[in-house]
Amino acid sequence: MSPLIVTNDVSKRYQMGAFDVNALDGVSISIDHGESVAIVGPSGSGKSTLMNVLGCLDLPSGGAYLLDGHDVGRLSRHKLATFRSQMIGFIFQNFSLLPRATAFENVELPLIYAGWRGRERRARAAEMLATVGLADRGHHLPSQLSGGQQQRVAVARALAARPKLLLADEPTGSLDSKSSQSILALLNDINSRGITVVLITHDPGVASEMSRVISLHDGRVASDEVKARPAEQCAPEPVLP
Amino acid sequence: MKVLLNLREALRALRANKLRSVLTTLGIIFGVSSVIIMVAVGSGTQRRIQEEIESLGTNMLQVFPGAARSAGVRLGAGSRPTLTDDDARAIANEVQNIVAAAPQVRGRVQIVAGNLNWATNVTGTTEAFFAAREWAISSGRSFEAEEVEMGRKVVVLGATVARRLFPDGDAIDRTIRVNHLTFRVVGLLEGKGQTIEGADMDDTALMPLITARNYLIGRALGSPRSVASVLVRGEENSDLGAVAGEIRDILRQRHRLLPEQEDDFQIQDMSEVMNVMQASSNALTTLLAAVASISLLVGGIGIMNIMLVSVTERTREIGIRSAIGARPGDLLSQFLVEAVTLSLIGAVIGVLLGVAGASIAEEMFSVRTALTIEPILLASGFAALTGIVFGFYPALKASRLQPIEALRHD
């Protein structure tokens, strides 16, 4: 099986006033199906830009990006969105739930865009809420949930449409340590079911939970280490029923 | 299915800003309701004119005697008794393309029947009157030629007079008294309703010309054979101008007028008056509808304005939606449905207000209105179209936002 993610000398330049900023400068990485990867680096190292490119939210200005064998750089906006809808689930630092929609409706939303129909869609949304342990909170608005619960809803939403890749941008950045631990355990559990997890963090503790750490510096790959999976050894109390 | 979900989203977004949504729809509400009220008032007026034309009969000319001139002082129309029943007969016999020509004399009399009495206008005329006015008999009969010729004391009553004098309803062959003379009721006229000025056309009585002149109103006229007017009805689709020309020639000849002399009579074309009224009321309706449509347009601009604000406010939401798989088309339809929902809610309230407003106008200001389905459909359709047209640009703007720019937005 070919790797899920292949970037070949990917670069991204921004025009900032009179300056050209090279946010990414020749990044070549390859991530296999089922890996769990942390992308680390100081701010300004280009990790957010890499995440946007990997998530098909932004197109590289140079080089090639192949996601599951498809050359993303050649896709139209419509195709790109369809691709996101089928392949990728996003988790953001600030949860990014729609504030006026209930938890259930938030989880339902990607299914709507992916074209799931009525009963099937509602069953899937309910199932996903149950998976993250919030079956009884479906009708709550995000403002009525704690930060940890909101991020769980976001995880359920990200996984609803059966993506192959879960992208998380500082998923624990707004959480206390207990909630952080349970979210990380959840991500590891997801990964153990075969979904590739790529997360961005500046927290070494979070990065150490992943099996591979890629560190960026000034838009280039500074180091790329694969470790033994630590998840089995130091998993906190099980979070999934 | 997608539309229903979009509708759910739209209603949620509109509910989140209730006051703003209500204020925005006000433009559409007033636009739609004013279109409906204006068109209702306009077509009510038109219908009234239509009925007027129908009740008077179309293709009508009326000939009046001319104004008297004595030592340079010109008196009004009819002040010179120049028109006689012989003129009427000549018109009836000689003019082409006419259905009937009926001479008329008029007067006001007090009619007594039993212990009831009623003042009304009496018209002395001939049996040609019924054809000339296209006025049917509802019961009994019209005059016979012999009665007109001999001046028999028979009378045909208008519906109002019959109701006033014979409340029990049975008027045929009963007698009435006018100036201590006895007349026999031979027929009743069909009800015609009101004229455009509000006069009751059914408040009238008809009797043979000679009868009226001899017994009731002869003294008022200068000459024993003169008439107040001659009513001429042209054939269907005949050229009334040509008919009027012929009448003029015949009358000038009969009155022995020299070429340099003015006409001593006037010919009035009734249909022309009606056409002018109809045309002006048409123009009025169009004008009212146009003015009302402009307010609908202004309402549309209000929607566009608020949708642009909404798109800007919800930039981050748009970013989240595109990250989790919304295609540009999904975002376009979401915001379009929201704009159309806004305008359709306005349209529904506007229709209700418009219908209510039209009935209030009819009740309180006694304006004649006519509510038809066309302006209602037209105004609602136009409102929906307004939503689509003015909602399109903001929706397009939303769909064109770059996902990362939108996500960066707070």
Say which of A89, A113, A157 has its CB closest to residue B326: A113
Among chain A residues, the shortest Cα distance to B322 is held by A81
Between chains, do B328 and A85 touch, taking CB under 8 Å as contact?
A: no
Say which of A57, A98, A118 has its CB closest to residue B317: A98
Q: Are B276 and B49 within 8 A, CB to CB?
A: no
* Cα A122 to Cα A107: distance, rounded to the nearest angstrom: 9
Average model confidence (pLDDT) across chain B: 84
Cβ-Cβ contacts under 8 Å, A101 against chain B: 12
Between chains, do A113 and B407 touch, taking CB under 8 Å as contact?
A: no
Of the listed ranges A193-202, B9-18, B210-219, the least confidently predicted one is B210-219
Reported as a single tens digit per residue, the pLDDT across A25-66 is 888 999 999 899 999 988 888 888 898 889 888 888 888 999
* Cα A94 to Cα A77: distance, rounded to the nearest angstrom: 25
**At residue A200, does pLDDT exceed 80?**
yes
Between chains, do A158 and B317 touch, taking CB under 8 Å as contact?
A: no
Cβ-Cβ contacts under 8 Å, A77 against chain B: 327-328
Say which of B12, B330, B403 has its CB closest to residue A113: B330
Cβ-Cβ contacts under 8 Å, A96 against chain B: 316, 320, 323, 407
Most B CBs within 10 Å: which of A100, A116, A200, as the mutation test of the B interface? A100
* Cα B405 to Cα B382: distance, rounded to the nearest angstrom: 36
Question: Which pLDDT does position A107 carry in this prediction?
Answer: 94
Closest-CA distance, A40 to chain B, in angstroms, reads 20
Reported as a single tens digit per residue, the pLDDT across B86-126 is 888 899 888 888 888 999 988 888 999 888 889 999 999 99
DSSP structural state of residue A170: S
Cβ-Cβ contacts under 8 Å, B330 against chain A: 81, 113
Between chains, do A158 and B322 touch, taking CB under 8 Å as contact?
A: no
Interface ipTM > 0.90: no
Reported as a single tens digit per residue, the pLDDT across B294-351 is 888 888 898 999 999 999 988 999 999 999 889 999 999 999 999 999 999 999 999 9
Strand partners, A185: none
Mean pLDDT on A154-174: 90
Between chains, do A89 and B330 touch, taking CB under 8 Å as contact?
A: no
- Banded model confidence at residue B382, pLDDT cuts 50, 70, 90: confident
**At residue A106, does pLDDT exceed 90?**
yes
Cβ-Cβ contacts under 8 Å, A114 against chain B: 325
Instruction: Please report, rounded to a whole number, the percentage of residues in chain A having pLDDT higher than 90.
Output: 32
Question: Which pLDDT does position B227 carry in this prediction?
Answer: 87
Q: Are B301 and B392 within 8 A, CB to CB?
A: no
Strand partners, A166: A89, A197
Reported as a single tens digit per residue, the pLDDT across A4-19 is 899 988 888 888 777 8
Reported as a single tens digit per residue, the pLDDT across B346-369 is 999 999 999 998 888 888 877 778
B408 reaches A (C-beta below 8 A): no
Cβ-Cβ contacts under 8 Å, B325 against chain A: 81-82, 84-86, 110, 113-114, 161
**At residue B272, does pLDDT exceed 80?**
no
Backbone angles phi, psi at B166, to 5 degrees: -125, 75
Residues of A within an 8 Å Cβ radius of B: 52, 55, 57-58, 77-78, 81-82, 84-86, 89-90, 92, 96-98, 100-101, 109-110, 112-114, 117-118, 157-158, 161
Q: Please name which of B236, B227, B230, B111 lies closest in space to residue B166, comparing C-alpha atoms.
A: B111
Question: Which pLDDT does position A236 carry in this prediction?
Answer: 46
Cβ-Cβ contacts under 8 Å, A92 against chain B: 320, 323, 407
**At residue A241, does pLDDT exceed 50?**
no
Q: Please name which of B149, B99, B132 lies closest in space to residue B229, comparing C-alpha atoms.
A: B132
Say which of A58, A78, A89 has its CB closest to residue B327: A78
* Cα A128 to Cα A114: distance, rounded to the nearest angstrom: 15
Closest-CA distance, A214 to chain B, in angstroms, reads 23
Q: pTM for this one?
A: 0.69
**At residue A238, does pLDDT exceed 50?**
no
Mean pLDDT on B7-24: 87
Reported as a single tens digit per residue, the pLDDT across B125-181 is 998 888 888 888 888 898 888 888 888 999 999 999 998 999 887 889 999 998 888
Of the listed ranges A143-157, A168-182, B265-279, B394-408, the least confidently predicted one is B265-279
Question: Which pLDDT does position B13 carry in this prediction?
Answer: 85
Say which of B325, B402, B403 has its CB closest to residue A113: B325
Residue A62 in 3-state DSSP?
Answer: strand
- Count of Cβ atoms closer than 10 Å to residue B262 Cβ: 9
**At residue B69, does pLDDT exceed 80?**
no
Residue A164 in 3-state DSSP?
Answer: coil
Between chains, do A110 and B325 touch, taking CB under 8 Å as contact?
A: yes
Q: Are A119 and A148 within 8 A, CB to CB?
A: no
| A-to-B residue pairs, Cβ atoms closer than 8 angstroms | 68
Cβ-Cβ contacts under 8 Å, B317 against chain A: 98
- Banded model confidence at residue B394, pLDDT cuts 50, 70, 90: very high
Question: Which pLDDT does position B222 carry in this prediction?
Answer: 60
**At residue B77, does pLDDT exceed 60?**
no
- Amino acid identity of residue B299, one-letter, is G
Strand partners, B229: B104
In sequence order, which residues have a C-beta less than 8 Å from that of residue A145 and are 6 or more positions away? A103, A134, A137, A153
Between chains, do A85 and B327 touch, taking CB under 8 Å as contact?
A: yes
Mean pLDDT on A140-162: 91
**At residue B70, does pLDDT exceed 70?**
no
* Cα B317 to Cα B313: distance, rounded to the nearest angstrom: 9
Mean pLDDT on A115-122: 89
**At residue A164, does pLDDT exceed 60?**
yes
Among chain A residues, the shortest Cα distance to B325 is held by A85
Among chain B residues, the shortest Cα distance to A55 is held by B323
Mean pLDDT on B15-22: 88
B377 reaches A (C-beta below 8 A): no
Question: Which pLDDT does position A232 carry in this prediction?
Answer: 47
Q: What is the dihedral of CA B388, B389, B392, B394, to 10 degrees?
A: -110
B322 reaches A (C-beta below 8 A): yes
Reported as a single tens digit per residue, the pLDDT across B243-255 is 888 999 998 888 8
